[in-house]
Structure 1
Amino acid sequence: MTVALMWEARAAEGRGAELLAWARAQALPERPVRREIFRAPQDRVLVITWWDAPYDAAVPELPDPGPELVTRPVHRWRFEPVAAD
């Protein structure tokens, strides 16, 4: 089974590049099957990691950045795959 973890944060004013660099530099104690990093308007950064594990498994998650880098708490969600149409 695969579980995908989504981590999304919005940077403080003018700090989008710094938040993106911070997210890219974060090492996890275990290597995910896949890891992708995205950016979006309003200096948002999204990181999705895929793990070969059950939905409720304890897998490493990215930490929260320092409060000076973000405008609100980090959003986190878990997803599991479903059959394609």
Structure 2
Amino acid sequence: MTVALMWEARAAEGRGEELLEWARARARALAAEPVRREILRAPQDRVLVLTWWDAEYDAVLPELPEPDAGLLARPVHRWRFEAVEGA
């Protein structure tokens, strides 16, 4: 089974590049290597990290931690999905 973890955060005003670099560093330093990893950004200094794992849906998987509160405009959002179809 393939499980995808999504981690999304919005940076505090003027700290978008810092949050992006923080997420890049943490995504590369996970305790295990995912099958796939993508890091994206969007307007309003939002950063999205997607990791794909060959694991059961409820498996314990390494996730990005919470950044320091001063780096964020709001709390981190996290979601977990299981793949049902792919190309």
Q: Same fold (TM over 0.5)?
A: yes
The structure with the largest helix share of the pair is 2
Indicate the residue corresponding to 2:61 in structure 1.
Answer: 59
Indicate the residue corresponding to 2:74 in structure 1.
Answer: 72
Which letter maps to 2:77?
Answer: H
Q: What is the TM-score when the length of structure 1 is the normalising length?
A: 0.96
Which letter maps to 1:65?
Answer: P
CA RMSD in angstroms, aligned pairs only:
0.8
Gaps (5+ residues) in structure 2?
Answer: none
Q: What is the TM-score when the length of structure 2 is the normalising length?
A: 0.94
Count of matched residue pairs: 84
Q: Match of 1:24, SS?
A: helix
Indicate the residue corresponding to 2:16 in structure 1.
Answer: 16
Gaps (5+ residues) in structure 1?
Answer: none
Query: Percent identity at matched positions?
Result: 76
Cα deviation, residue 82, structure 1: 1.4
Cα deviation, residue 83, structure 1: 2.9
